Chains A and B, each alone.
Chain A
Amino acid sequence: MDPENIQNKPEEITIRFYLNGSETTVTINPWETASEVLRNRLDLKGIKIGCGIGECGACTIILEGKTVNSCMIPAAQLDGRRVETVEGLAKDGTLNYLQRAFREKSAVQCGFCTPGTLMSAKALLDKCDKPSREQIVDALSGNLCRCAGYVQIIEAVEEAARKKPQGQQEEVIDR
């Protein structure tokens, strides 16, 4: 056996957080980003790593009700927090209202930006029932779509806002 693997790893830490509503415990290296841990250790491949420097928004997750770029925060900072990813949207194989609106309005072309864009849209609609077009554009301005399907994406969020089921406001904690 490789002696490297027998040694204790003194830097490793264990974090516990709420991932899409379920308590999750995972042991990580402190230098791992939230996106690396969610993708590689917890197998949530919906999180895309695009630019790695906070410009593209493909790695967007919701942390305590607010969107963040998961490629830029250390996973250690998830400890004790509520985390939502795109995998939490569909329930029992049924797409949620936002995902349905994206499909209906053809807001998905290559799909790479979609998980992050959905999370930005969700964070907005969790707080705001009837966002203006300007508010939608603002909320999505940190998510780049290289297929340039912005018009369809904005229309999908407008459609989702119209069709948002009441009581979908999953325990938003305002800080």
Chain B
Amino acid sequence: MTCKFKYIRPNSLFECLDILAEKGSESSILAGGTDLMISLRNAERNPKFVIDISRLPETRSLEQNGATIKVGPTLTYSELINHGLIAKYFPALISAMSCVGSLQIRNVGTLGGNIANSSPAADSFPPMAIYDAEIMIQRSNSVRIEKLQKLIVGSYKNTLEPDELITSIILKPLDSHCKQTYRRIGRRKSLSVARINAAVSGKLNDDGLLDDCRISVGSVAPSPLRIRKVEEALQGERPELKVFHEAGEMVAAQIIELVGVRHSTEYKKPAIAGLVLECLEDVFIGRGI
């Protein structure tokens, strides 16, 4: 049974935060709607109010702010994929966003919505984790900034309060010598949810050794992960297949240690190792962007 609600479309961020302060606990926030509409139809959520922020001008800008890029949360995937600044600094994020659903979904789906929905299989999370993404969150009388990995605390769980709104996503470009990549394993190319996804970046130092490696794996744990132990282990190593193989296996072992052995472990362990290996090859042996 479809949930019945009142539709509110505030004209400014100020107005929106005011409405959330009063009605936040009885409201759902609508941006692209690709997740929300389904859960409303199935009455998995029963808000009294749906607040449409998709046209809020304050949430639709993209600007360079010194060393960071501030991304408006209601910009759609299509808008971001076609944006010069995103193409310049965040090609792995573009690869990831290009995997989301279908063109029809990318034309309405938003990065802010992806974060607020907090699906463990979100395509955008691994790249955002390697860019050390921070999320700016506002309520009518305060602002906080959280790291993505802090904000998302579990599968479809985050620390957003009912009166809070994501108002920008702050991404830090990698060192200009770094290469980056994104890969995912899904059941088919289009219209699938990632089974495993990963983003990797890094560069070679003056001695030709691995430097500033970053590895993030998604869909296999409840929230986005940076695999710091393996990142550290790779520092100063030679860019050799043997090293990448071992790194892949270390990442797989780390994730299993974290989430425990499950029915899917037999498949996922070699699949994670293989995906990380391919990503490291992308970055250090050529195909990386």
Chain A residues packing against B (C-beta within 8 Å): 10-11, 13, 29-31, 33, 52-55, 57, 60, 63, 66-69, 71-74, 76-77, 79, 120, 138-139, 141-144, 175
Give A10 to B4 CA distance when docked, in angstroms. Answer: 11
- A68/B104 in contact, CB under 8 A: yes
**CA–CA, A50 to B79, complex, Å?**
27
CA distance A55 to B33 in the complex (A): 14
Instruction: Find out whether the CB atom of A57 lies under 8 angstroms from the CB atom of B108.
Output: no
Contact residues of B between 188 and 239, Cβ < 8 Å to A: 189-191
Q: Name the residue among A11, A54, A76 with the largest chain B CB count within 10 angstroms.
A: A54
A-B contact pairs, 21 of them (CB 8 A): A11-B5, A13-B7, A30-B5, A30-B7, A31-B4, A33-B41, A52-B38, A52-B41, A54-B38, A66-B78, A68-B104, A69-B34, A72-B33, A72-B105, A73-B32, A74-B52, A120-B104, A141-B102, A141-B189, A142-B103, A142-B104
Determine whether B85 belongs to the interface, using a CB cutoff of 8 Å to chain A.
Answer: no
Q: Which residues of A contact B190 (CB under 8 A)?
A: 141-142
CA distance A34 to B185 in the complex (A): 32
Q: Which B residues are in CB contact (< 8 Å) with A144?
A: 191
Given A54-B104, A67-B107, A138-B103, the answer on whether A72 and B6 have CB atoms closer than 8 Å is no
CB distance from B27 to the nearest CB of A (A): 13
Q: Tell me the complex Cα distance, A76–B53, Å.
A: 12
Taking CB atoms and an 8 Å cut-off, the chain B residues in 1-26 that contact chain A are 2-7, 9
Q: Which residues of A contact B169 (CB under 8 A)?
A: none
Cβ–Cβ contact A142 & B6, under 8 A: no
A40–B73 CA distance with the chains assembled, in angstroms: 33
Contact code string B76-103 (vs A, CB < 8 Å = 1, else 0): 0011000000000000000000000111
A137 and B247 CA atoms in complex are apart in Å by: 36
Bound Cα distance from A163 to B108, whole angstroms:
31
Contacts A74-B33, A141-B103, A141-B190 hold; do A31 and B5 have CB atoms under 8 A apart? yes
Q: Is the CB of A76 within 8 A of B52?
A: yes
Residues of A within 8 A of B52 (CB): 74, 76-77
Are B104 and A57 in contact, CB atoms less than 8 angstroms apart?
Answer: yes
User: Please, how many angstroms separate the alpha-carbon atoms of A63 and B6 in the complex?
Assistant: 23
B54 within 8 Å of A by Cβ? yes
Q: Once the chains bind, are A73 and B50 in contact (CB under 8 Å)?
A: no
Q: Is B259 an interface residue (CB 8 A)?
A: no
Q: Which residues of chain B are near A139, meaning CB under 8 Å?
A: 103
Q: What 5 pairs across the A-B complex have the smallest Cβ distances?
A: A142-B102, A30-B7, A141-B190, A66-B107, A69-B104
Query: Given A66-B78, A72-B37, A73-B37, are A31 and B103 also a contact pair (CB < 8 Å)?
Result: no
Chain A residues closer than 8 Å to B189, beta-carbon distance: 141
B contact residues around A66 at 8 Å (CB): 78, 107
Q: Which residues of A contact B103 (CB under 8 A)?
A: 67, 120, 138-139, 141-142
Considering the complex, give the chain A residue whose CB is closest to the CB of B98. A138
Task: Kindly provide the distance from the CB of A83 to the nearest chain B CB, expressed in whole angstroms.
Answer: 13
Which A residues touch B37, using CB under 8 A?
33, 71-74
> A68 contacts B107, CB within 8 Å?
yes
Expressed in whole angstroms, the Cα–Cα distance for A139 and B34 within the complex equals: 19
Q: Which residues of A contact B105 (CB under 8 A)?
A: 54, 69, 72, 142
Give Cα A175–Cα B60 distance, bound, in whole angstroms: 12
Decide yes or no: A31 and B9 within 8 Å by CB, A54-B104, A67-B104, A68-B107 being known contacts. no
- Report the separation of the CA atoms of residues A57 and B5 in the bound assembly, to the nearest whole angstrom: 26
Residues in chain B near residue A71, CB distance under 8 A: 37
B129 to chain A, nearest CB (A): 26
Of all chain A residues, which has the CB nearest B48?
A11
- Given A53-B38, A69-B102, A120-B104, 15 other A-B residues pairs in contact with their CB atoms under 8 A: A30-B6, A30-B7, A33-B37, A54-B38, A55-B102, A57-B104, A60-B104, A67-B103, A73-B32, A74-B37, A77-B54, A120-B103, A142-B103, A142-B190, A175-B79
